[in-house]
Amino acid sequence: MADSLISLFDAVLSDLDGVVYAGPHAIPGAVESLQRLETVGVGLGYVTNNASRTPAQVAAHLRELGAPAEDHQVVSSSQAAGELLASMLPAGAHVLITGSAALAHEIELAGLKPVHSAAESPVAVVQGFNPEIGWKDLAEASYVVAGGAMWFATNTDMSIPQARGMAPGNGTLVAAVAAATGKAPLVAGKPEAPLFHAAAKRLKADRPLVVGDRLDTDILGGNRAGFATAAVLTGVDTTHTIIAARTDERPDYLLADLTGLYAPYPEVVSDAGMFRCGAATAVAGDGIVTVTGLEGDLDAWRAACAAWWAAVPDTDVAQTPQLVWRNH
């Protein structure tokens, strides 16, 4: 494994939804790739924005799928929220839970008192994903936030991958309260760096690789944490959205799925404005990327990304090039 991508790192910090599983089912090749990490001496942590389940429940689900998972290997946004609230509120402060029992548990572990109604005088609201949330829950949160309470969100993922497709994520529920109140929450989980730093610290990792399917949470968060990042194509983002990524959301590596960790990563070589990866080349100019290669070949996309990102090194907004494909 000396020449494989994974040989460069001492740990993998993996996202869950869209990387390990979609809905109840494991993504093909994912479980085997995670099991293999131990054989090459690489640590494993799971970094999740899903605050609807406890880390122990997440670990149990991973084990059911056959993936290696001890409870301590799971670091959740609800844990990060608990730490954030505890740093800003006095012990025993009442916090309205707009989320799951798992989120309430983490808030309680942080020394705060979870409550479920405005009548219990909460000084803060914490909002996390729970598929059971209804209008009344969002209304209660809105009343408390509008009344001046501090507002926290575990995460702001706008969508969540399910077996049947993309479903609304916690960000859509947070957006409803934001629209009703005109306010914005403090966010505890991805894409903020502390979640990734906490996971690396648990694994005693100096050179972790963050692997995720979302540019706006996994890749942005990993980049902000100062870690190497790899985007996989098994979830939300695609080759088309990745090439268009704003600077802060660009991954260091582009993989089809987790099995790519065990292959040598092809070098992208630049020569007088031409970028070559494997047998493919790409040149960027005037908003156009001309790629010589096959659209289904990942090396062609790696070359295309390198060419476009060199042409547009600093951008705060996604910029989509016109792609021109030429066969060899």
* Catalytic positions, written as ranges: 15, 17
Task: State whether residue 24 is helix, strand or coil.
Answer: coil
Q: Could you give the C-alpha distances from 101 to 98, 190, 199, in angstroms and in order?
A: 10, 21, 23
Spell out the residues 6+ positions from residue 205 whose beta carbon is closer than 8 angstroms to its own: 10, 11, 13, 43, 45
Tell me how crowded residue 273 is: count the other CB atoms within 10 A of its CB. 12
What are the b/e assignments for 243-262, b being 16+ CB within 10 Å? bbbbeebbbebbbebbebbb
What are the b/e assignments for 123-149, b being 16+ CB within 10 Å? bbbbbbbbeebeeebbebbbbbbeeeb
Helix orientation angle between 170-181 and 135-146, rounded to the nearest 10 degrees: 50
Pairing mode, strands 253-255 and 268-271: unpaired
Residue with token string 């309260």: 177
